[in-house]
Amino acid sequence: MHDRLLSFLRTQLPGAEGLTIRGLHRTTGGQSRENWPFDASWSDAEGPHDLPLLLRRDPIGSVLETDRRVEYGVLVALTGSGIPAPGIRWIDPDGEHLGRPAVVMDRLDGTCDHFVLSGGDLQLPEPDRRRLAERYCGVMASIHRFAWRDAGLDPAFFPVPAHPAHAAIDHWSAELARQQVEPHPELTEVACWLREHAPEAQTVTLVHGDLKPGNSLLHQDASGRWDVQVMLDWETAHLGDPLEDVGWVTNPLRQREHLIPGVWERADLIARWEAATGLTADPAAVRFWNVLANYKLATITLTGVRSFLDGRGERVWSASRSLARFLLRQIDEG
Amino acid sequence: MRPTVTEQLQGAARVLRDVVAPHVTDANAAEQLGHAAVALDALAAGWDRYAVTVLADLHELETLLADLDPGHVPGAPLPDPAALPTVAELDGRHTARRAELSALIERLHAAPSSAGSAEGIADALAAVRAQLLRSADRFA
């Protein structure tokens, strides 16, 4: 990988002299992409450079099959927007240089704590966790306020859906059909329920698609305050209904990641998001997107199963019947 | 249900051999890892016939004891080992029926008027959901 990466960087930095890479290794984090942190240094007409970088490459088998051009495109568009996203450098869209499609982006040091809001590794005091929860909500709102029409997103990778809810069902149903290795009548029933309850979108915005503390890096400022430094994993970003993200972060199955019991409840999150965006979160629509979130998770799980059965995955997956049970109860609630 | 137990055992052995083993540098740990992978392969190859094998042996044992041991108390009659399906056979039939159920769900949702009264459709869908929930509870 070292030689391939060096060769790739030479094609991207034709004027570079003394190009070297150091510390390249594959980390364990990330189930959908391979992450390879490294440092690169070179000199050019602007002077010497020494940068911490991250190579994200498609794995042989993944739980989520996405196009690196989407990730690259959205990160280019977000540059200078004020939304905390990593700076993007280069793309090898078809894997010509790096074996499989890949992007290289700036690497930021920080702490990843999946369950920081409910305690997690950092065990922050409650007021700090509440402040972080509000910050995550603010980041989500800023993504939904992003002026995507002026951002030059390539319509080939960022189509504007006529009906975002139907587009989401179509996308994930097609993905399920492509990945499943056996029938799942539970998911057939859920898909039918989704089609019968698909809400109209009040607007179309940029949607992150996988907002969670586990997809962010935190840093501590000089006064000891923790803050969100950057949101990661933009590979499922698309144009759609902003309530898709709201439904993702209020998914009852994953409330431990997003809520603080008695302090930062579902209603608090939604009220703050409404205030920050000027949009409204119709409860029936949020419920639809909660169900869609778990339908998506079920599809991702079955993608892992297929990858495992094809001998491409490195993790022993099994179909989640408990997720199917949760979904059936979700749609049975009313 | 995929992955089947056999596929999970084979997959776990593959992960140990192909992903973990190349990075194990301690000789004893590497040797034990190899044994664990072989054990998983052996389980994958034989577990599905285990019930049939035990049943066949049980038949022979009980016949032998009934013939030779006056104190032997016969238990409940045993099923014929030849009639006992393997889990793979049950899985195949189960999968086929679940495919039928998926198609039925789509028909019920898509064409309620042609498939019967609205009330009948609602009752049918309620029965389907109840079965799916019981099934999910059973396997979760």
- pLDDT surpassing 70 at residue A79: yes
Cβ B140–A321 below 8 Å, yes or no?
yes
- The string of pLDDT tens digits covering residues A184-196 is 999 999 999 999 9
pLDDT of residue A61: 64
Question: Cα separation of B132 and B137, whole Å?
Answer: 9
- The per-residue pLDDT for A88 is 92
Given a cut of 80, whether residue A120 has pLDDT beyond it is yes
Which residue is listed with tokens 């739980």?
A63
Residue A229 is classified by DSSP as E
Is it the case that residue A156 has pLDDT exceeding 90? no
Q: State the average pLDDT for chain A.
A: 91
Q: Kind of pairing, strands A34-44 and A47-57?
A: antiparallel
- The pTM (predicted TM-score) of the whole model is 0.85
Q: Is A251 exposed, middle or buried (0-12, 13-18, 19+ CB in 10 A)?
A: buried
CB contact under 8 A, B3 and A314: no
pLDDT at A34: 84
CB contact under 8 A, B106 and A182: no
Instruction: State pLDDT tens for residues A307-323.
Output: 888 887 777 777 677 89
Cβ–Cβ gap B15/A328 under 8 Å: no
What is the predicted pLDDT for the residue at A268? 97
CB atoms within 10 A of CB B122: 12
| Omega before A213 within 30 of 0, i.e. cis | no
Cβ–Cβ of A309/B3 closer than 8 Å? yes
**Residues belonging to chain A with any Cβ–Cβ distance to chain B shorter than 8 Å:** 181-186, 188-189, 192, 195-196, 305, 308-309, 311, 314-319, 321-322, 324-325, 328-329, 332
Structure tokens at A150: 């002026």
Question: Encoding tokens for residue A118?
Answer: 């409910």
**SS3 letters across A167-191:** HHHHHHHHHHHHHCCCCCHHHHHHH
pLDDT of residue A89: 92
User: What ipTM goes with this model?
Assistant: 0.75
CB contact under 8 A, A325 and B11: no
Name every chain B residue with its beta carbon within 8 A of the beta carbon of A61: none
Answer yes or no: are the C-beta atoms of A41 and A47 closer than 8 Å: no
Residue B112: predicted pLDDT: 59
A180 with A306: CB under 8 angstroms? yes
Smallest Cα distance from A330 to chain B, Å: 11
The sign of the torsion formed by the CA atoms of B64, B67, B73, B75 equals positive
Q: What is the pLDDT of residues B35-81, one digit of tens each?
A: 999 999 999 988 888 888 888 889 988 999 999 999 999 888 888 88
Please give the average per-residue pLDDT across A155-171, as a whole number: 95
Query: A151 pLDDT exceeds 70?
Result: yes
Give me the pLDDT at residue A321, please. 78
Q: Which of A6-10, A114-118, A198-202, A287-291 shows the lowest per-residue confidence on average (mean pLDDT)?
A: A6-10
Question: Do residues B6 and B48 make contact, with C-beta atoms less than 8 angstroms apart?
Answer: yes
Q: How confident is the model at residue A22 (pLDDT cuts 50, 70, 90)?
A: very high
d(CA A39, CA A106) in angstroms, rounded, equals: 10
Q: Omega of the bond prior to A101 within 30 degrees of 0, cis? A: no
Residues from B contacting A (CB-CB < 8 Å) are 1-3, 7-8, 11-12, 14-15, 19, 95, 98-99, 101-102, 105-106, 109, 125, 128-129, 132-133, 135-137, 139-140
- Determine the residue type at B43: L
A196-209 pLDDT tens trace: 999 999 999 999 99
Which of A52, A36, A71 is closest to A109 using CA atoms?
A52
Kindly state the average pLDDT of the residues A140-167: 94
Nearest CB partner across the interface for A308, out of B11, B109, B129: B11
Q: Which single residue is written with the structure tokens 């419920």?
A: A287
Rounded to a whole number of angstroms, the CA Rg of chain A reads 20
> Which residues are CB-contacts of A167 (< 8 A; sequence separation ≥ 6)?
A161, A240
Q: How far is CA B69 from CA A278, A330, B54, in A?
A: 86, 60, 21
- Asked whether the beta carbons of residue A319 and residue B106 sit closer than 8 angstroms, the reply is no
Which residues does chain A have within 8 Å of residue B133's beta carbon, measured at their own beta carbons? 325, 328-329, 332
Q: What is the DSSP annotation of B10-49? A: HHHHHIIIIIIGGG---HHHHHHHHHHHHHHHHHHHHGGG
Q: Contact A184/B132, CB-based, under 8 Å?
A: no
Contact call for B136 and A325, based on CB within 8 A: yes
Selected residue of A173, A186, A193, A305 to mutate for chain B interface (largest B Cβ count, 10 A): A186
